């Protein structure tokens, strides 16, 4: 088996004789075996000045031996840029484009070699160049006599909003130099803007105003925003795609009656708090806008709106015993309802904020008459396991109004 006498350094792009002192100091990971000096020159390696002499001397010697078939390495010089509605760009920053805008892409490819002390450039003709893009199918193009290829595209109605990237594949094997970055992108806006809410905060109902940049179908929904729920909790749909096309540049107005359209509280008014309006288009996951900061006023706390002289305090005299309790005792929860109400009772850790979950749910949305009521907690969680030592609180919702009493302690032993 023949052993290579020429070793290249893939990091420095130099090649050496096997006897060169530089081989001994070269990291093994940087070594590459080359078949011959010609092989090394043809693949862009420069000779070591210590063991091989200058490159010009070697090239002249090889030219004489191989009758002019050896030359300096060949490089390719690529240039990719675009014109968006007459505005040229060749950087990474992108540009905003709208439905109906024209996009023109240009790619040029030149061959360049260093000969006789200077770089010589010549266009690469009849060479295939491709454009890679997730959302647009650009056909392959052949370069013309100037080494250039061109693509045109008009953004159609229904194009998905958001960023669209495009990159040129010059289909060269090696030694490609790009004049600029190889990626361009443009951004199509959602087309939903200027979302306004009035009145805000609201008592019983409110209106949502917004503008469209172009005709489109939309879907609008209200969500409860508790800042710690992801995704938001859906409250009501106030418009669907099949309700028709809305016109561009008109002031669109949608009304929300402040009520829930599903679940066990369907038809009831929402409780006080923060809500979100989300307006979606038909064209992909990024075709939407939303507006936070919609608030139901304090004092209107869910259920039907209060009637004159209707109580806003439903629960009083919350008591639990024994307190503290241990692993072998049960806790009696007692309270008084001032009026009939739908009641839920939850046990929570004392340092928790209410997130829709709890340590133990005692009852959920049960209709109770006014008067005294008592329930028992066996000290377990919703999975049936005993809760840890520490402080707990009892949270009672009566007609969606929360009443909380802290200070229920679990200890290992009770003296």
Q: Which CATH number fits domain 75-188: 2.60.40.10, 3.40.50.300, 1.20.120.1200, 3.40.50.360?
A: 2.60.40.10
**212, burial (CB in 10 Å: exposed 0-12, middle 13-18, buried 19+):** buried
Percentage of residues of the chain with pLDDT beyond 70: 78
pLDDT (mean) for 282-289: 77
The pLDDT value recorded for residue 179 is: 61
Where along the chain do its domains lie?
6-71, 75-188, 192-296, 315-410
The pLDDT value recorded for residue 150 is: 92
pLDDT in tens, 150-196: 999 888 877 777 778 888 888 876 677 766 556 777 777 777 888 88
In three-state form (DSSP H/G/I as H, E/B as E, the rest C), the secondary structure along the chain is CCCCCEEEECCCCEEEECCCHHHHHCCHHHEEEECCHHHHHHCCCEECCCCCCCHHHHHHHHHHHHCCCCCCCEEEEEEEEEEECCEEECCCCCEECCCCCEEEEEEEEEEEEEECCEEEEEECCCCEEEEECCCCCCCCEECCCCCEEEEEEECCCCCCCEEEEEEEECCCCCCEEECCCCEEEEEECCCEEEEEEECCCECCCEEEEEEECCCECCEEEEEECCCCCCCCEEEEEEECHHHCCECCCCEEEEEECCECCCCCCCCCECCCEEEEEEEECCCCCCCEEEEEEEEECCCCCCECCCCCCCCCCCEEEEEEECCCECCCCCEEEEEEECCCEEEEEEEEECCCCCCCCCCEEEEEEEEECCEEEEEEECCECCCCCECCCEEEEEEEEECCEEEEEEEEEECCCCC
Average pLDDT, the chain: 77
Give dist(CA 31, CA 19) in Å, integer. 14
- Say which CATH class 315-410 falls into: mainly beta
Does 307 score more than 50 pLDDT?
no
Q: How confident is the model at residue 149 (pLDDT cuts 50, 70, 90)?
A: very high
> Does 115 or 376 have the greater pLDDT score?
376
Peptide bond into 201 cis (omega under 30): yes
Q: Which CATH number fits domain 192-296: 3.10.20.30, 3.40.50.20, 2.60.40.3140, 2.60.40.1930?
A: 2.60.40.1930
pTM over 0.85: no
Percentage of residues of the chain with pLDDT beyond 90: 4
Q: CB neighbours of 263 closer than 8 A, spacing ≥ 6?
A: none
- Same fold flag, 75-188 and 192-296: yes
**What is the phi-psi region of residue 103: left when phi exceeds 0, alpha when psi lies from -120 to 50, beta otherwise?**
beta
Cα angle 252, 255, 258; round to 5: 150
Q: How confident is the model at residue 302 (pLDDT cuts 50, 70, 90)?
A: very low
């Amino acid at each position: 088996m023949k052993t290579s006498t020429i070793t290249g350094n893939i990091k420095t792009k130099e090649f050496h004789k096997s006897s060169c002192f530089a081989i001994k100091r070269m990291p093994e990971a940087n070594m590459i075996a080359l078949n011959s000096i010609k092989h090394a020159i043809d693949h862009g390696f420069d000779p070591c000045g210590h063991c091989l002499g200058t490159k010009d001397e070697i090239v002249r010697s090889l030219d004489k031996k191989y009758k002019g078939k050896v030359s300096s390495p060949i490089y390719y010089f690529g240039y990719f840029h675009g014109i968006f509605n007459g505005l040229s760009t060749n950087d990474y920053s992108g540009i905003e484009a709208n439905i109906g805008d024209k996009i023109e892409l240009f790619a040029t490819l030149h061959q360049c070699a260093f000969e006789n002390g200077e770089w010589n450039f010549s266009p690469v003709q009849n060479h295939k160049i491709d454009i890679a893009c997730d959302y647009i199918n650009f056909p392959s193009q052949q370069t013309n006599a100037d080494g250039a290829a061109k693509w045109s595209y008009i953004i159609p109605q229904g194009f998905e909003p958001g960023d669209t990237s495009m990159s040129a594949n010059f289909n060269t094997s090696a030694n490609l130099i790009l004049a600029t970055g190889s990626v361009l992108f443009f951004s199509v806006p959602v087309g939903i803007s200027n979302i306004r809410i009035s009145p805000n905060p609201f008592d019983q109902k409110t209106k949502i105003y917004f503008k469209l940049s172009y005709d489109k179908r939309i879907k609008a929904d209200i969500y409860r925003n508790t800042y710690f729920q992801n995704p938001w909790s859906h409250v009501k749909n106030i418009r669907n795609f099949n309700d028709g096309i809305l016109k561009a540049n008109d002031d669109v107005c949608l009304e929300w009656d402040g009520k829930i359209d599903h679940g066990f509280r369907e038809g009831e008014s929402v409780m006080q708090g923060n809500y979100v309006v989300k307006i979606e288009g038909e064209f992909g996951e990024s075709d939407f806008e939303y507006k936070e900061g919609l608030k139901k006023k304090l004092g209107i706390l869910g259920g039907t709106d209060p009637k004159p002289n209707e109580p806003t305090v439903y629960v009083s005299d919350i008591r639990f015993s024994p307190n503290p309790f241990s692993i072998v005792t049960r806790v009696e929860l007692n309270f008084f309802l001032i009026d009939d109400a739908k009641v839920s009772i939850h046990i929570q850790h004392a340092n928790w904020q209410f997130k829709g979950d709890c340590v133990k749910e005692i009852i959920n949305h049960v209709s109770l008459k006014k008067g005294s009521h008592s329930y028992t907690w066996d000290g377990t969680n919703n999975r049936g396991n005993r809760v840890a030592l520490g402080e707990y609180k009892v949270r009672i919702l009566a007609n969606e109004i929360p009443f909380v009493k802290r200070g229920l302690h679990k200890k290992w032993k009770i003296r």
